[in-house]
């Protein structure tokens, strides 16, 4: 299979990604220096300093050790992965095992991500984790809460009552210890990872995010039970969900490999006849480009 990224741009935000159920899932946002899920750690993702992992399933998490190793290989800073809290210890253990096998220990920052606990990346950018509906059962039979993430721009605007004042007047107010600005949050990109429908879709910053990446694994009529059993979305779920969303763009991720993209698009058109292809589409139907131009085709083995 020729390795490709899907590429998409909206509101000045570029996204490079790949998302097929069970195979690989990641989204890199180069301008924000943020990625959601690590996939198999393709080159476009290795350059990103902050990677947020939705859950531990292999299609989303396989490249963790490779991500850190590649960053060391190209003399980059160690990089940061933010993961559901119960996964911190097993991932650190995984990295130690890889150090045993490989002979080199790549420096790594593995952080716990907790629902509703903001990760502040810059004065004007934070990532907010939230709980989604895709519980993962671990080997020891405990459950891990999967997460979605919203990248939110933070602006500090002059309060209305101080509009029209000139510089020295504002400086004087500041000297008096008066807070002359109000905080404004602008949700830019929200990634829901793998999930069945859930109350997270009612969160303001999810519904109003400029771009929403929402999974839609199953589209065939006979696969509704399979979607529920695996805590995934079926295309029929979108009929209720999409009218409640204000997002400028909705990209559907994690489509099953079993379903052809053209068939999925056809079903989507039929399900939501009023929606344009411009507002809602499958991520993998966006423009594709080769990930590693210099590499030969890999086999499917």
Residues near Zn ion (CB under 5 A) are 57, 59, 194
- Strands of 80-84's sheet, edge to edge? 109-113, 80-84, 50-52, 34-38, 24-29, 13-20, 4-10, 288-290
Q: Which is nearer to Zn ion, 24 or 69 (CB)?
A: 24
Q: Which is nearer to Zn ion, 79 or 193 (CB)?
A: 193
Beta bridge partners of 181: 158
Q: What is the dihedral of CA 270, 273, 275, 278, to 10 degrees?
A: 60
CA distances from 203 to 47, 116, 130, 155 (A): 31, 11, 9, 20
CB of 256: closest distance to Zn ion in angstroms?
A: 10
Q: Which is nearer to Zn ion, 13 or 83 (CB)?
A: 83
CB of 30: closest distance to Zn ion in angstroms?
A: 23
Which residue in this structure is represented by tokens 């650190």? 92
Give the Cα-Cα-Cα angle 212, 269, 249 (nearest 5 degrees): 20
Q: Which is nearer to Zn ion, 44 or 195 (CB)?
A: 195
Q: What DSSP character marks residue 298? A: P
Six token digits for residue 267: 């079903």
- The Cα–Cα gap between 162 and 165 comes to 6
Q: Which is nearer to Zn ion, 57 or 128 (CB)?
A: 57
CB of 265: closest distance to Zn ion in angstroms?
A: 21
CB of 57: closest distance to Zn ion in angstroms?
A: 4
Q: Which is nearer to Zn ion, 106 or 217 (CB)?
A: 217
- The Cα–Cα gap between 17 and 288 comes to 9
CB of 274: closest distance to Zn ion in angstroms?
A: 29
CB of 135: closest distance to Zn ion in angstroms?
A: 10
Q: Where are the alpha helices (DSSP H) in 84-189?
A: 88-102, 167-175
CB of 192: closest distance to Zn ion in angstroms?
A: 11
Six token digits for residue 216: 């839609």
Beta-carbon contacts of residue 73 (< 8 Å; ≥ 6 apart) = none
CB of 217: closest distance to Zn ion in angstroms?
A: 8
Which residue in this structure is represented by tokens 């993962």? 136
Q: How many CB atoms lie within 10 A of CB 127?
A: 21
Q: Which is nearer to Zn ion, 60 or 71 (CB)?
A: 60
Six token digits for residue 29: 């946002």
Q: Which is nearer to Zn ion, 62 or 203 (CB)?
A: 62
Beta bridge partners of 190: 150, 212
CA distances from 195 to 56, 98, 148, 154 (A): 13, 30, 9, 27
């Amino acid at each position: 299979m020729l390795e490709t990224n899907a590429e998409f741009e909206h509101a000045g935000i570029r996204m490079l990604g790949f998302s097929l159920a069970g195979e690989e899932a990641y989204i890199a946002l180069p301008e924000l220096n943020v990625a959601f899920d690590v996939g198999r750690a393709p080159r476009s993702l290795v350059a990103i300093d902050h990677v947020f992992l939705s859950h531990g399933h292999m299609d989303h998490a396989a490249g963790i050790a490779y991500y850190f190793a590649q960053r060391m290989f190209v003399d980059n800073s160690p990089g940061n992965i933010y993961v559901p809290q119960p996964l911190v210890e097993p991932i650190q253990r995984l990295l130690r095992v890889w150090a045993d096998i490989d002979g080199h220990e790549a420096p790594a920052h593995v952080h716990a991500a907790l629902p509703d606990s903001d990760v502040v990346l810059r004065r004007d950018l934070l990532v907010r984790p939230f709980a989604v509906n895709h519980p993962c059962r671990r080997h020891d039979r405990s459950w891990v809460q999967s997460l979605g993430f919203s990248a939110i721009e933070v602006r500090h605007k002059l309060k209305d009552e101080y509009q029209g004042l000139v510089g020295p007047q504002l400086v004087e107010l500041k000297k008096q210890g008066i807070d002359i600005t109000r905080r404004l949050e602008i949700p830019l990109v929200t990634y829901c990872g793998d999930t069945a429908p859930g109350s997270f879709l009612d969160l303001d910053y999810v519904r109003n995010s400029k771009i929403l990446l929402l999974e839609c694994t199953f589209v065939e009529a006979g696969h509704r039970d399979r979607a529920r059993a695996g805590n995934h979305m079926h295309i029929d779920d979108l009929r209720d969900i999409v009218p409640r969303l204000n997002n400028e763009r909705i990209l559907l991720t994690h489509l099953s490999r079993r379903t052809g993209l053209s068939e999925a698009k056809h079903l989507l058109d039929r399900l939501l006849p009023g929606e344009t292809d411009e507002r809602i589409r499958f991520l993998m139907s966006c423009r594709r480009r080769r990930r590693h131009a210099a590499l030969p085709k890999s086999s499917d083995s």
